[in-house]
Structure 1
Amino acid sequence: MRDLGGIPVVGGIVRPRLVYRSASLAKLDGPDEAAFARLGITTVYDLRTAAERDGAMDHLPEGTRTVWLDVVADEPDNIAANIPTLLADPAALEHTLGEGRADKYLADANRALVSKPSARIAYRRFYLDLIDEQRTGAALFHCTTGKDRTGWAAASLLLLLGASQNDVRSDYLQTNTDLAPALQPILDALTAQGVNIALLQPILGVQDSYLDAALNEVHSRYGTINDYARAGLGLTNQQIDALRNRFVSTA
């Protein structure tokens, strides 16, 4: 997980210690749970499907509020939401991702994060809850691996706050560095089971092309990121301003 605070935006920086992104919190315990509690995170936005949550519910400090936003509810075949199923079936993995199909699937999946109805509904609720005056404390959002649904939540948020596309891309790609140590034991175990892990690289990390696919979808369907927020998510100019007022520090 990481704090989005400190990233430069027009007129200032993202306020530190107010909004975080992460992978699943299902195994949060011990010293990590105590460290999490000290961050003052009072709301967690869970972007996973019901199937992903089943048996892997977030383990959170008592009193933490959870908001469930199923981004891919109308995409039952979304790869990001079906990684565990694919890993359990090497033949299905090869059929789905082999011969260069993985990159296309991931690009399509990231375009869908911008345009599919369930995604637009989920991200609209995400933004409206973020700016709710009754909500206090810091917020965190996550999916399972914290890279696609979470990646677009972070990218769109940073762009709406006024971050440059270069800084947004830098945060987006940072996920590869953050995930690598946690994924290596999994990859080693899968190799021992005979799984072709070369097929997994596109779905266990992020690439420039995935972010580009989402940004191109924004531009082709709506125009600017603000147009996406207004026409795609149904946010008003006042609500977009409220987002900036809450999360941008000009000091």
Structure 2
Amino acid sequence: MGIVADVTNDGFILSSAPNFRDLGGHRTASGRTVRRGLVYRSDALHTIAAEELPVYNGLGIRQLVDLRTPHERETLPDITPEGAEYAAVAVQNPEAAGANFSLSLADPEKARSMFADGAAERFMHGVYRELVTDAEALTGYRDLVERVAKGPTALVFHCSAGKDRTGWGAALILGLLGVDRETVVADYLASNERQANTDKWMSRLAAHSGLEWEEVAPMTRVRAEYLRMSFDHIDEVYGSFDDYVSDGLKLSDAVVERLRERMLD
């Protein structure tokens, strides 16, 4: 029998992966509730501590969707839950400026040109625009939504920090389910209290790159303005969120309906 983790969105299911959390529990604008125990969002899953494996394996996860780049996946391979399918689903062009920024930080000269003197904030704005318009992102997020809609068992999706690529994936799914924008933003911002692992590796990268922590800080946390950048860019490019879903992601009405049937009480 699986272990049942009785937690809220405010709790830590896995302290070794602090941004691992249930996407369920939110109320929709129509008064329905997103079911718990079906979809989890997370930061990197190579960090799961041995003592937490029973909880991790006991959540009933049968599908792991890794949104990271090939370099990230190869460098830090996931610990996949017992009995789960592993799926690499790209949401970034590996050659794009927003991908593999850890490699850029490893080169002090490149790091300074890309991130110093306020450039890190502009870099993040660019990332959030790419996440809703780049071809890889459109294909990848469509794949993610279709997997969530299909089920039939629990799924976890993640990136490295679980806040940007995963943050947009969560915002997209909650938006499709009819969760209001304010709640979507609150779920997104909850990542800020769960970045202990990110701070460790970003501190090392910043020190190696010669940048001050303040210069890389915009990449270590989420801000409401980042998510707003994606939504505003959607309106500019597609006209509306609904048109982004149908014309950009090319998600069928049947898939969206199946997602809602599966995910809402």
Q: What's the TM-score, normalizing by structure 2? A: 0.86
**Distance (whole Å) between structure 2 residues aligned to residue 187 and residue 124 of structure 1:** 30
Give per-residue Cα distances to partners, 1:57-115, cap 9 Å, x unaligned: 11123321112111112x51333x32321332333222111121111111111111111
Structure 2 counterparts to residues 171-250 of structure 1, below 5 A: 171-179=187-195, 181-186=196-201, 189=204, 195-249=211-265
**Distance (whole Å) between structure 2 residues aligned to residue 189 and residue 68 of structure 1:** 27
Check if 1:57 corresponds to 2:77.
Answer: yes
Larger RCO, structures 1/2 (Cα 8 Å, 6+ apart)? 1
**Distance (whole Å) between structure 2 residues aligned to residue 123 and residue 192 of structure 1:** 34
The one-letter amino acid of 2:35's match is R
Given the alignment, which residue of 13, 16, 20 partners 2:36?
16
CA-based RMSD: 1.8
Which structure 2 segments of 5+ residues have no match?
A: 1-19
The one-letter amino acid of 1:12's match is R
Q: Secondary structure at the match of 1:139?
A: strand
Give per-residue Cα distances to partners, 1:173-221, cap 9 Å, x unaligned: 1111111x32444455557655411111111111111101100111122
Q: Secondary structure at the match of 2:79?
A: coil
Check if 1:129 corresponds to 2:147.
Answer: yes
The one-letter amino acid of 2:88's match is W
Structure 2 counterparts to residues 95-114 of structure 1, below 5 A: 95-114=113-132
Q: Is the 8 A contact 1:159 1:168 kept in 2?
A: yes
Sequence identity percentage: 33
Q: What is the aligned residue count? A: 244
Check if 1:146 corresponds to 2:166.
Answer: no
What corresponds to 2:138 in structure 1?
Answer: 120
TM-superposed deviation, 1:8: 1.1
Check if 1:162 corresponds to 2:182.
Answer: no
What corresponds to 1:78 in structure 2?
Answer: 97
Which structure 1 segments of 5+ residues have no match?
A: none
CA 115–187 in structure 1, closer or farther in 2 if over 3 Å, else same:
closer
**Distance (whole Å) between structure 2 residues aligned to residue 204 and residue 228 of structure 1:** 28
Q: What's the TM-score, normalizing by structure 1? A: 0.90
Given the alignment, which residue of 50, 53, 57 partners 1:37?
57
TM-superposed deviation, 1:146: 1.0
Q: Is the 8 A contact 2:149 2:262 kept in 1?
A: yes
